[in-house]
Amino acid sequence: MTTARIGLILGVGAMFLLGCASSPQRAALPRTGDPILDGWLAITNGPREDRVLWQYRTALEYLRRGESTQAATLFDETLAVLQGRFGKNAGARRSRSLFSRESVKPFIGEPYERAMAFYYRGLLYWEEGELDNARACFRSAQLEDSDSETKAFANDYVLLDYLDGLASFRLNGRGEDAFLRATDSARLVIPPPYESIGNVLFFTEYGQAPEKYAVGEFKEKLKFRDGGSTAIEMILRTKQQAIHLGAMDDLAFQSSTRGGRLMDHVLHNKAVFKRGANVVGDVAVVSGLILAQNRRTQDAGLGLAAFGLVSKIVSAATTPRADIRTWDNLPKFLGFGAIHLPPGEQQVSVEFLNDQREVLPEMTQSMTIQVNQPPRDTVVFVSQFQNNPSRL
């Protein structure tokens, strides 16, 4: 009789566990190797909670190919999500519950990723000649960096303040406040004064994106790893001049200086609960089975064992794992430079230098750009991840 009851309890537990088993993993989307096609496939057919992530990746790929209209359209969709993220969100609420992964929430990215979406849209507005909208994007990007745990690292993107001021300078001759903020935050290179800025603006990027990974007993702690970069400097060459461009911002630095998230506390609590429920379950099952061997304490023992089993089941179902979905085609370094060039066709080449100040020939790019008639600026986007710089 005792053995039968114990068997019943274990059997019920096993059936419950079987029932709890999560639904089968969604089949992986086929990959073609073309980032644009793969991006669209994921946007249209992939999990809804990953949609913004794929829009980020695909928009950036369009930008690197010089297809600015498509890039702007996709970035606009992501910015609409970012600006309307207030209030109730079923996915976000679910991600805070004990039994759901953090990654069930719709992805909008960590602050450095959100800032980059605004930054790239700002470049596209600049090229369209809408400097005040570009400036609006740079201001919103900087705001994304304002909720760091220690305020010492809040709003400290050099390039965003610098471009905010440059847009104001171009529009009405003023931009001193933003320029001062930019120079105060500068850690890598000191940005040049606005008066010296030419009509052809080069927005540069190189190095690998920061990586997210999870540590802790249940992978509940989100960490960032520097993606690294072979290149640390660039040289921009035209027929008349050559200028060195260093990085103004480092996304690895930005990703790692935010400090703790509120969500980290939620995940920590989930981990504590998971660990506690498991220990309680172990103790209760073992104690219950021992008590169940004695006829006088059999009922109490079986009850305790059942409670222990339920506790272990609850522990097993608790998922404190941190969300490590990453906008992985971002760069590490962001830079900016400008030169004066006459309107019309101009030849430009870009060389990347390593930490020994040696040219990396395999990364050298050259292009012919069409310089706009003044007063409109010409915007050139230079990325390590494209074959040639692109006039946006």
Partner 1 sequence: MKNQLSIFGLALLLGCASPGIRNPSGVPVTEMNADERGFVTGTGIESQDLVAVTDQMARSILSTPEIKAFGQVPRVALDPVVNETRFPINQDIFLTRIRTQLNRQARGQVRFLARERLATLETERQQKRNGAFTSSSDPHRQEFKGADFFLTGKLQGLTTRTEAGVSDYVLYNFQLIDARTTEILWEDAAEIKKQGLEDAAYR
Positions that interact with partner 1 (CB under 8 A): 8, 11-13, 15-21, 23, 79, 83-90, 92-96, 102, 105, 108, 121, 125, 130, 132-133, 135-137, 139-140, 143, 146-147, 171, 261-263, 266
Assess contact for 291 and 300: CB atoms under 8 A.
yes
Assess contact for 389 and 363: CB atoms under 8 A.
no
Rounded Cα–Cα distance for residues 164 and 177 (Å) = 10
Q: How far, CA to CA in Å, does 204 sit from each of 8, 30, 54, 144, 235? A: 67, 32, 22, 21, 11
Q: What burial letters (b/e) apply to 80-106, b meaning 16+ CB within 10 Å? A: ebbeeeeeeeeebeebbebebebbbbb
Q: 355 exposed, middle or buried (CB, 10 Å; 0-12, 13-18, 19+)?
A: exposed
Rounded Cα–Cα distance for residues 313 and 307 (Å) = 10
Q: How far, CA to CA in Å, does 361 sit from each of 110, 112, 355? A: 34, 31, 14
> Least Å distance between CB 4 and partner 1?
9
Closest to partner 1 by CB, 5 vs 237, is 5
Assess contact for 334 and 247: CB atoms under 8 A.
yes
> Least Å distance between CB 101 and partner 1?
11
Closest to partner 1 by CB, 115 vs 231, is 115
Closest to partner 1 by CB, 237 vs 261, is 261
SS3 204: strand
Closest to partner 1 by CB, 118 vs 194, is 118
Provide φ and ψ at 107, rounded to 5°: -70, 130
Amino acid at 328: D
Closest to partner 1 by CB, 92 vs 186, is 92
Closest to partner 1 by CB, 57 vs 105, is 105
> Least Å distance between CB 2 and partner 1?
15
Amino acid at 81: V
Rounded Cα–Cα distance for residues 42 and 36 (Å) = 10
Rounded Cα–Cα distance for residues 264 and 320 (Å) = 9
> Least Å distance between CB 120 and partner 1?
12
> Least Å distance between CB 134 and partner 1?
8
> Least Å distance between CB 96 and partner 1?
6
> Least Å distance between CB 355 and partner 1?
37
> Least Å distance between CB 139 and partner 1?
4
Closest to partner 1 by CB, 137 vs 232, is 137
Closest to partner 1 by CB, 219 vs 237, is 219
